[in-house]
């Protein structure tokens, strides 16, 4: 790592240009974590066609406004299970992105797919702390970027969370270096290259962004991603701003700087991208083009089932389902957990699916909510409490009923709620209330949905920002398996 920092320092060769005379206001547009071309929230929010309209409006009055993307587009989404992120690279090329940093999901399909997407990009990618094992930069990326905006030399460095090494599939030849150390090396390098304003473009947690701002002086603004909610912080004079996810907002930062680059004023806002914004015609045509292709691809067979798959409410909300077993097994494997638990109400169609071909469209019918697989660590006592909640309203066919993998449980619906779980075993051994277990579940349950409030305080190992969409995980697992024949195995026993 010291060798890499020394190499960065050795690159600092360019002299600073002559200073200008008057303060200048720079406009930074930003968004992050955008997983699909079209609108979200039942069409009420987002959509690259609406975002393009707002970007064009800003650039009509400020042609040099910089559009920055703070990572995560290749995965996960149903679109990307088909197009592997190519649809968003196409959209970003047309949108006029000025710089992007990769997110952890850029590595989900492995290094070869990432290299293909980088090669297709007509905009620059910058990441300072991701290198190959020989300490060369990742092909298709820059360690740092410099460009002149309104006469002011602006430098950009990029950071990606080191969790990507275990949360995604970067392969064995990629190094993820300490984020703070990389920023410490990048800022003086950019200064020596002439940058008077330095911007961090990051895909790390807010806590890491704040640590960078505290440890590294001279950063005017950090434009971030990774968290999916709009976030803002001011640390030692450095603004940190994140714009949510799926183009629900366009962030706008206006930075007024003195000729020497000193920050005189900074303002920021989020512009909601709603269905009240008319779509940009050219981008709308692209969105519709991919939507039509996706519709055709959804009818493509991904696997075959040798047995009927039971998605009937009377099954998934009251007893063991072979489809519930299949989904829970895939969730557990997707994040490498000891066990999995998922709410039966998240499995839809209320139908018995016949033996035969399974299409992508079938999987989306079973799992329509866009829930994300997460991984948590909890005690055996908390796991038992989660199962108690799951069976507490079984007589009403409540959606909280737990379909499971890696464990077996027996419950009695005749006993009072909270006292219905009679026995739980994990890997053939009785559940230990004091031991800890890793659990694959979904983000809805992690947030306390369906009464699973006991999971809210769990230690999160794979967050909603890092986990796969349930439907995508199932589609990709079925493609690998090709043929399935899940059985009812006695994972859930009903006692009198």
Geometric angle at alpha carbon 442, from 437 and 443, rounded to 5°: 110
DSSP assignment, residue 14? Answer: P
pLDDT tens-digit readout, 32-43: 999 999 999 989
Taking alpha carbons only, the member of 250, 205, 232, 252 closest to residue 104 is 205
* DSSP state letters, 403-417: EEESEEEEE-TTSPT
Whether pLDDT at 2 is above 70: no
Query: What is the pLDDT, as a whole number, of residue 81?
Result: 81
CA 295 – CA 470 distance, rounded (Å): 19
Taking alpha carbons only, the member of 390, 417, 389 closest to residue 403 is 390
pLDDT tens-digit readout, 307-357: 999 999 999 999 999 999 999 999 999 999 999 999 999 999 999 999 999
The whole-chain average pLDDT of the chain stands at: 93
* DSSP state letters, 443-488: HHHHTTGGG-GGGTTSEEEE-TTTSPBHHHHHHHHHHHH-EE----
User: What is the average pLDDT across 166-176?
Assistant: 88
Least confident piece of the model among 327-336, 363-372, 385-394, 445-454: 363-372
pLDDT tens-digit readout, 271-296: 999 999 999 999 999 999 999 999 99
CA 83 – CA 296 distance, rounded (Å): 12
Sheet holding 429-430, edge to edge: 429-430, 421-426, 407-411, 492-494
User: What tokens does 114 get?
Assistant: 């990432």
Percent of the chain predicted with pLDDT > 90: 88
User: What is the average pLDDT across 103-121?
Assistant: 94
* DSSP state letters, 302-343: EEEESS-EE--HHHHTTS--HHHHHHHHHHHHHHT-SEEEEE
Burial class of residue 93, CB neighbours in 10 A (0-12, 13-18, 19+): middle
Percent of the chain predicted with pLDDT > 70: 96
Question: Does residue 145 contact residue 124 with C-beta atoms inside 8 Å?
Answer: yes
Whether pLDDT at 15 is above 60: no
* Of 169 and 167, more confident: 169
CA 342 – CA 319 distance, rounded (Å): 13
pLDDT band at 166 (very low <50, low <70, confident <90, very high): confident
Query: What is the pLDDT, as a whole number, of residue 17?
Result: 42
Query: What is the pLDDT, as a whole number, of residue 401?
Result: 97
pLDDT tens-digit readout, 389-406: 999 999 999 999 999 999
Query: What is the pLDDT, as a whole number, of residue 228?
Result: 87
Query: What is the pLDDT, as a whole number, of residue 14?
Result: 37
Query: What is the pLDDT, as a whole number, of residue 436?
Result: 98
Query: What is the pLDDT, as a whole number, of residue 9?
Result: 53
Whether pLDDT at 360 is above 80: yes
User: What is the average pLDDT across 161-185?
Assistant: 92
Which residue spans within 61-189 are E strands per DSSP?
Answer: 66-69, 99-100, 125-126, 130-132, 141-142, 144-149, 152-160, 174-176
Query: What is the pLDDT, as a whole number, of residue 3?
Result: 58
Q: What are 200's strand-pairing partners?
A: 157, 222
Give CA torsion, residues 384, 387, 388, 393, to 10 deg: 180
Query: What is the pLDDT, as a whole number, of residue 188?
Result: 96
Element (DSSP H or E) covering residue 4? helix 2-10
CA 318 – CA 312 distance, rounded (Å): 10
CA 331 – CA 340 distance, rounded (Å): 7
Catalogue the long-range contacts made by 176-179 (C-beta closer than 8 Å, 24 or more residues apart).
Answer: 176/129, 176/130, 177/1, 177/4, 177/129, 177/130, 177/131, 178/1, 178/129, 179/129, 179/204, 179/208, 179/211, 179/212
Q: What are 197's strand-pairing partners?
A: 154
Query: What is the pLDDT, as a whole number, of residue 5?
Result: 56
Give CA torsion, residues 333, 338, 340, 341, to 10 deg: -170
What is the SS3 assignment for 40? strand
CA 310 – CA 351 distance, rounded (Å): 7
10 Å Cβ neighbour count for 124? 18
User: What is the average pLDDT across 136-152?
Assistant: 95
pLDDT band at 11 (very low <50, low <70, confident <90, very high): low
User: What tokens does 355 get?
Assistant: 């033996």
Query: What is the pLDDT, as a whole number, of residue 439?
Result: 98
pLDDT tens-digit readout, 409-444: 999 999 999 999 999 999 999 999 999 999 999 999
Least confident piece of the model among 8-17, 79-88, 203-212, 467-476: 8-17
Query: What is the pLDDT, as a whole number, of residue 7?
Result: 57
CA 290 – CA 246 distance, rounded (Å): 17
Least confident piece of the model among 106-110, 164-168, 417-421, 455-459: 164-168
What is the SS3 assignment for 355? coil
- End-to-end Cα, the chain, rounded Å: 63
pLDDT tens-digit readout, 54-85: 999 999 999 999 999 999 999 888 888 889 99
């Amino acid at each position: 790592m010291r060798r890499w920092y020394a190499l960065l320092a050795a690159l600092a060769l360019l002299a600073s240009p002559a200073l200008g005379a008057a303060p200048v206001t720079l406009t930074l547009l930003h968004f992050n974590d955008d997983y699909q071309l079209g609108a979200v929230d039942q069409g009420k929010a987002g959509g690259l066609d609406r975002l393009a309209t707002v970007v064009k409006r800003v650039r009509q009055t400020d042609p040099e406004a910089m559009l920055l993307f703070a990572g995560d587009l290749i995965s996960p989404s149903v679109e990307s299970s088909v197009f592997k992120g190519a649809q968003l690279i196409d959209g970003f090329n047309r949108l006029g992105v000025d710089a992007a940093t990769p997110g952890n999901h850029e590595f989900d399909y492995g290094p070869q797919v990432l290299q293909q997407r980088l090669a297709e990009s007509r905009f620059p990618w910058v990441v300072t702390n991701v290198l190959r094992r020989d300490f060369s930069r990742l092909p298709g990326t820059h360690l740092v970027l410099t460009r002149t905006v309104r006469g002011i030399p602006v430098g950009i460095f990029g950071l990606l969370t080191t969790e990507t090494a275990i949360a995604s599939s970067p392969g064995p030849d990629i190094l993820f270096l300490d984020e703070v150390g990389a920023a410490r090396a990048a800022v003086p390098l950019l200064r020596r290259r002439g940058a008077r304003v330095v911007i961090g473009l990051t895909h790390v947690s807010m806590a890491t962004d704040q640590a960078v701002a505290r440890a590294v002086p001279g950063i005017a603004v950090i434009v971030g991603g990774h968290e999916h909610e709009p976030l803002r912080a001011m640390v030692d004079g450095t603004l940190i701003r994140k714009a949510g996810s799926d183009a629900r907002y366009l962030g706008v930062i206006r930075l007024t700087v003195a000729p020497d680059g000193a920050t005189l004023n900074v303002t920021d806002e989020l512009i909601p991208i709603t269905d009240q914004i008319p779509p940009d015609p050219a981008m709308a045509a692209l969105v519709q083009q991919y939507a039509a292709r996706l519709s055709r691809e959804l009818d493509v067979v991904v696997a075959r089932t040798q047995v009927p798959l039971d998605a009937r409410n009377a099954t998934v909300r009251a007893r063991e389902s072979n489809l519930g077993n299949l989904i829970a097994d895939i969730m557990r494997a997707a994040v490498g957990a000891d066990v999995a638990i998922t709410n039966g109400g998240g499995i839809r169609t209320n139908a018995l699916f016949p033996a035969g071909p399974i299409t992508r469209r079938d999987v989306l019918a079973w799992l329509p909510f866009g829930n994300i697989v997460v991984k948590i660590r909890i005690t055996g006592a908390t796991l038992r409490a989660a199962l108690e909640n799951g069976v507490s309203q079984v007589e009403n066919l409540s959606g909280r009923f737990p379909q499971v993998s890696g464990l077996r449980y027996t419950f009695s619906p005749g006993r009072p709620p909270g006292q219905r779980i009679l026995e739980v075993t994990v890997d053939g051994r009785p559940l230990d209330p004091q031991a800890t277990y890793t659990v694959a579940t979904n983000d809805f349950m992690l947030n306390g949905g369906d009464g699973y409030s006991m999971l809210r305080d769990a230690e999160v190992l794979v967050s909603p920002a890092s986990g796969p969409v349930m439907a995508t995980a199932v589609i990709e697992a079925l493609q690998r398996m090709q043929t399935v024949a899940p059985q009812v195995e006695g994972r859930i026993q009903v006692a009198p």
